[in-house]
Structure 1
Amino acid sequence: MAAVPGRVVVTAAAYQRVLGAVAADALGVPRRVPRVRVSDEAGSLRAEVRSPVRVRAGETVLALARDASARVQEEGSRLTGAAVATGHIHITAVENRKERVR
């Protein structure tokens, strides 16, 4: 494939939106809720997420936060094509999930 002139720039805001959506899915909150900051960590991305978490019966806040951190790193890397070295999750509030009764 021939080289194409120009360059591609992915902004921090673009990374923040993608990583925020991944975190929101993992934490059970709407996608607009998590606040994400990205920075450089030795050539990889470092993501800091601040968000509430919704917890159902039988779930723990710690388990959900660990899962969210792993998903931000793994899915974030897969979706963006950039290595996400760190996914720090700061839980700001805990909400109970309402189970739907049929």
Structure 2
Amino acid sequence: MIVMQAGYNRANGAYGYNNNISSYGSLSPDYIEYQGTYYRITALHSANGTFMAFADNKMPPVETIVIEVKGRKYTMTKDSKIKLFEIQTAIFTNTGTYTIKILSMQ
């Protein structure tokens, strides 16, 4: 389970977490473990869609990550070209605390 204190980035209208150039929000823990390997999340935020990016572009070797937020399930799919997982739904729509459950990685 991951707990995110969502921040807001006025420049791109995104809610969530990003520890890159325009840092905002917080994530604890800030990684996903898959088959004994830890993948550090550098961004998990929503603007028009929702995106999850990883440090050094090292992503879990899966095609989908299914998460649950506020009782709803979302399937994020891998975009290998830009090295992130995405869904065309804005999951995070305001600041506040979100509990994110990783349901499956396949």
TM-score above 0.5: no
Identify the structure with the greater strand proportion: 2
TM-score, normalization: structure 1?
0.33
Identify the structure with the greater helix proportion: 1
